[in-house]
């Protein structure tokens, strides 16, 4: 598996609401299969409905075919869904592709973690700065007017970072 293939697989794994995901199109392309065969493989999996609902999301999209548009469907899937699906794909080439996909999922998860850590560091920095400035300003009536202009943007950024740092739990039916 060369570096270019690794980079191509990284492009096939994206962030979806902060979770690494791929698509049935990406699986078909990577494994050299027809998309319809991958859709059939997903449909024929013998997994629980709960597992299917958590790890596979069917999506319709408009596709221009010649002069007509028609709806075509594909699946967005989690790393667990991907692993379950491709478990049955075998051979040396398939194993190399599975390994590269797993590495691509891990790479995306690391990107998301770094983004979170960066926001967390900024949050801690700005909260510390805000608290220090508030203390400084409260000692000086002259700086009160400056503080009035600084306070609102700082509060807004802190509120946005708090929203961004809140873990979001996907809605799961049947729990």
Neighbours of 101 (CB within 10 A): 24
Query: Could you give the CA distance from residue 152 to residue 139 in angstroms, rounded to a whole number?
Result: 19
Pairing of strands 56-65, 19-23: unpaired
Residue extents of the structural domains in the chain: 3-114, 116-165
Q: Are 41 and 52 in contact (CB under 8 A)?
A: no
Neighbours of 145 (CB within 10 A): 9
pLDDT (tens, 9 = 90+) of the chain, 175 residues, equals 443 354 466 667 776 777 778 888 988 888 888 999 999 999 988 889 998 999 898 988 766 667 766 667 899 988 888 888 888 777 777 777 777 777 777 887 787 777 777 777 777 788 888 888 877 777 666 677 777 888 888 899 889 888 888 766 555 555 4
Predicted TM-score of the model (pTM): 0.53
Between 79-86 and 92-138, two packed helices, what is the crossing angle to 10 degrees? 180
């Amino acid at each position: 598996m060369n570096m270019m293939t690794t980079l191509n697989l990284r492009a096939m794994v994206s962030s979806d609401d902060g979770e690494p995901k791929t698509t049935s199109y990406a699986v078909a392309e990577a494994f050299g299969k027809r998309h319809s065969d991958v859709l059939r493989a997903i449909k024929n999996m013998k997994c629980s409905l709960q597992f299917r609902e958590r790890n596979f999301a069917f999506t319709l999209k408009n596709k221009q075919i010649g002069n007509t548009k028609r709806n075509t469907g594909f699946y967005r899937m989690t790393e667990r869904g991907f692993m379950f699906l491709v478990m049955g794909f075998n051979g040396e080439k398939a194993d190399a592709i599975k390994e590269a996909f797993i590495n691509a999922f891990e790479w995306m998860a690391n990107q998301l973690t770094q983004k979170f850590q960066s926001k967390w560091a900024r949050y801690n920095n700005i909260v510390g700065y805000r608290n220090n400035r508030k203390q400084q300003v409260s000692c000086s009536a002259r700086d009160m007017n400056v503080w009035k202009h600084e306070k609102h943007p700082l509060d807004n950024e802190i509120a946005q970072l708090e929203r961004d740092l809140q873990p979001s739990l996907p809605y799961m039916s049947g729990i």
